Chain A
Amino acid sequence: KQEVTQIPAALSVPEGENLVLNCSFTDSAIYNLQWFRQDPGKGLTSLLLIQSSQREQTSGRLNASLDKSSGRSTLYIAASQPGDSATYLCAVRLIRNGQNFVFGPGTRLSVLP
């Protein structure tokens, strides 16, 4: 059974720091991996989607990498800002059941001014 974990569970950094969020999954048979942002009391907003054949995707200050063989993805946030404070979740889409996405529990990020 696919399991997705995210470390750390919570992270607090001063404004301006570069930071890395980690996502690990146990089964490498995935179509893709998606990173989301969730603000308190809100829905999920898609940040980046990496196909299984890709190594990384970039959007603005965000860069996501994927190492399928080791079951890892990282989300790199450059020059963090207080507005980046949110919970970040990763989700993998399974090959075994292509309609099924398995989510990690999230990393709660606080960027202090």
Chain B
Amino acid sequence: NAGVTQTPKFRILKIGQSMTLQCTQDMNHNYMYWYRQDPGMGLKLIYYSVGAGITDKGEVPNGYNVSRSTTEDFPLRLELAAPSQTSVYFCASSYSDRGPHEQYFGPGTRLTVT
């Protein structure tokens, strides 16, 4: 299993541009998450999904959108990028509603908005 994969690894955007961060998992996990990590801070939840076709907002959803058309993929869309969205973005997945929900993380995407 490749686990959780993310593309791209790095990206520089100009203010006002848009982009999609890709996330794929091959572990048949039903739960998927997007986090952002700012320097010296813990991870903050942007959006999550409990299964294909279902998404919900986390703690910091403004400026982002997601979709979950398949179990494997959970892309994160940034519209009208702003400098405040400069961060490292992590995708994660976990399995089951009744189990421990141990999370598995991708390697991250480092995004700079200038």
- A32 & B45 in contact (Cβ 8 Å cutoff): no
Q: Is the CB of B106 within 8 A of A43?
A: yes
Q: How many cross-chain pairs have Cβ atoms below 8 Å apart between A and B? A: 63
Count residues on chain B whose CB falls below 8 Å from chain A CBs.
28
- Do A46 and B48 contact each other (CB < 8 Å), given the known contacts A103-B42, A105-B40, A105-B41? no
Q: Which of B12-20, B67-75, B78-86, B96-104 contacts A (4 or more CB under 8 A)?
A: B96-104
Q: Does B31 contact A (CB under 8 A)?
A: yes
User: Does A61 sit at the interface, judged by CB under 8 A?
Assistant: no
| Chain B residue nearest to A46 in the complex (CB) | B102
B105 x A101 contact (CB < 8 A): no
Q: How many residues of A contact B (CB 8 A)?
A: 26
**Contact assessment for A4 and B105 in the assembled complex, using a CB-CB cutoff below 8 Å:** no
B45 touches A101 (CB 8 A): yes
**19 further interface pairs, Cβ-Cβ under 8 Å (given A102-B42, A105-B40, A105-B41):** A32-B100, A42-B108, A43-B90, A44-B103, A46-B104, A46-B105, A49-B100, A49-B102, A91-B42, A98-B97, A99-B33, A99-B48, A100-B45, A100-B48, A100-B58, A100-B59, A101-B43, A103-B35, A105-B42
